[in-house]
Structure formats: structure tokens, C-alpha cells
Amino acid sequence: MPFTLPPLPYEPDALAPHMSAETLAYHHGKHHQAYVDKTNQLIADAGLQGRSLVDVIRSAEFDPLRNNAGQLWNHSFFWQCLSPERTSPPEPLLNMITRDFGSLVALHKQLAAVAIGHFGSGWAWLVLEDGALRITSLHDGDTPIAHGGMAPLLTLDLWEHAYYIDYRNARPRYVEALLAALINWEFVALNLDGNGILRANQD
């Protein structure tokens, strides 16, 4: 079965004004769809049909398949990291945030600094590694699931297509808006079980 575009977990206008329906029409409907189509085409060309998306990412050593399949997975995970409801980290996660960063405000600052400082296209990540929370960023379509030991908890899309309609070139305003209003901390906490990888997988 070819991979498909997962539907958004909310209405396209639900994240406005922080992320507009127009942004989602392009970002989900055009960009994410293009990664689905390109991945399916590359898999067919390489004769790799029948593997799960995670297996494709982990076995693809070379571009363009690794980056396209990574982009398909990363976006499928990213949409679930956002919510129209204001949420806050539930207790087990909040304790870990306090332990590893000092406070939620400190985590926000560090994540914003990494996201804003990342050069070029890519993704900022909150991961669980060796039992501790850690912030990092990866380039282009790279993804923690291609690297052993990193369990993905939360990601922020840093490609210009994520913010150019709503914020033009102002990545800092986009990042601050996501952190202030849109993060689905219930989903982030769910991923502490180590199964975040499966929540954006496709068979």
C-alpha cells in the first residue's frame, strides 16, 4: 500500500491566528502531500514496497529517499504536536522538565534559542535520551528515528514554508507563537512511553 497523507487532527482554521488556514492549506495540503508522493515514487523506483515508513527511513542510506521519507514522518508527527486547546505539561512530564531544565520557562527559552539559531531548513526537537530530556536540532529531513537512542517527544518545523505566509521571514515570532499558544503538551507527555515513533508511522 502506498503511504498516504494523514488528516490533520483539527480543523484547518483551528490554529488561527497563530497558524492560519492558508498556511495549513499549503503546508499540509501541498508540502506534506508532496513528500508523500515523492516518497512513494522513490520507493517504487527502488523496489522497496511493503516496508513500514520507519523501516524505510532506517534502511535508506542515501538521498533523496531518506530526506523525503523523513519529511513525511516528521510532518505527521508535527501536526500532532500542535493543539487549538491551551495545554500544559502534566505532572510526570513537568517533574522531568523541572529536573532537566529548571523550569518550563527555561525549557521554552532553550528550545526557542535552538529553533531560532538553527541555520537553514530543519527541525528542532525535544527528545528523551538515556532517561533525560534533551533539546537538539537536525537538518533538512533528518529525524531522531534515524538515530539510535533518541525518542522523539516534540518537534518544531523550521522550514520557511512553515512560517512565511503568516510571519514572512520572522522565524522568531513563529517560534514564540508556537511555544506560547499551540504546543500539545498532552501529546508530548504521551510520548514519554517511547512510542512516539509509532504515532507517525505507516505500515
Binding stretches for Mn ion (CB under 5 A): 157, 159, 162
Give least dist CB 75 to Mn ion, A. 6
Give least dist CB 3 to Mn ion, A. 16
Q: How far is CA 35 from the centre of its chain?
A: 14
Q: Which one, 150 or 156, has the nearer CB to Mn ion?
A: 156
Give least dist CB 162 to Mn ion, A. 5
156 and 123 in contact (C-beta within 8 Å)? yes
Task: Give residue 163's identity as a one-letter amino acid code.
Answer: Y
C-alpha cell at 186: 498532552
34 and 54 in contact (C-beta within 8 Å)? no
d(CA 60, CA 200): 17
Give least dist CB 32 to Mn ion, A. 7
176 and 76 in contact (C-beta within 8 Å)? no
Q: Which one, 162 or 178, has the nearer CB to Mn ion?
A: 162
Hey, which residues does 129 pair with through a beta bridge?
A: 132
Q: Which one, 64 or 90, has the nearer CB to Mn ion?
A: 64
Q: Which one, 6 or 90, has the nearer CB to Mn ion?
A: 6
